[in-house]
Amino acid sequence: MAEQNNQVKELKQYLAFFNQKKDESFKELNLDFKDFVSDNIQDSTIYNKDDVLNLINKWNDQVKKTLSNDISNMSRMSAIYLQYLFQQTGVEFSLNLNLLEDIKMIENMKKVENTDTTFLASSEVKNPLKAVQGKLPSLFESQKTDQNLLKIEQLENELSQLKQENEKLKENVKASSQGKIGTEYEILDLQEKFEKLQTEHKLLQEDSQKKLNESAQFNNLKKMIQQKNEQIKEFKDRLSKYEKVE
């Protein structure tokens, strides 16, 4: 009896969860309808039959799309919980899918949803899950577990991102170091070239000075020769005067 009461509690929580999803779906439809009216219907416009039919068809398509997404999500949520049951019990299930549309079972579920009636108290309804033993896991316990798994996955993703950033930093540091070394080599190369240019400049200055000195000596020698020539000419002139006197 205690086990059956616990099953009733778990099922009521399960049904309450999806009733909440149903209410959220209705709220979404109401908001969509308000937006649809605001975007497609004007107070000052007169609509004929074809206009009305087009609006109805357009709204019908939007409702189908919304309901299809919501129902698909609910189906997947149910499958997630069913998968969780498989993993927790460690036994094989034999599901009778015909029971899902069994009118008596559906009515019995309504009673479970709205009252405290003990589920499966009557022996006329067979258990749809065979070979199941022990307590079924709580839906909300499953949600907490899923949340923990999500947190772990998020932490792993963050850790992976941190590792990637760390690797990038290492590469940047390495590239920066290599760039620094390359810059140092460039500086040394420039210094060598500068020193070489300084040496060449010094040699050119010395050579220029040497040539300049040589040029000065040549000019002095030329000047001396000119002076000597002038002296010789002067002596010749004087001699010629003496010869005339004699």
Residue 114, CA distances (Å) to 11, 18, 45, 121, 204 in order = 11, 14, 47, 16, 110
What per-residue confidence (pLDDT) applies to 126?
Answer: 45
Q: Does the pLDDT of residue 31 top 60, yes or no?
A: yes
Q: Per residue in 179-214, pLDDT tens?
A: 555 566 666 766 677 677 667 766 776 776 676 666
Residue with tokens 């599901």: 95
Q: Per residue in 88-124, pLDDT tens?
A: 777 666 777 787 888 888 888 888 777 654 444 443 3
What is the pTM assigned to this prediction?
0.42
- List Cβ neighbours of 137 (8 Å cut-off, separation of 6 or more): 84, 85, 88
Distance CA(222)–CA(225), nearest Å, equals: 5
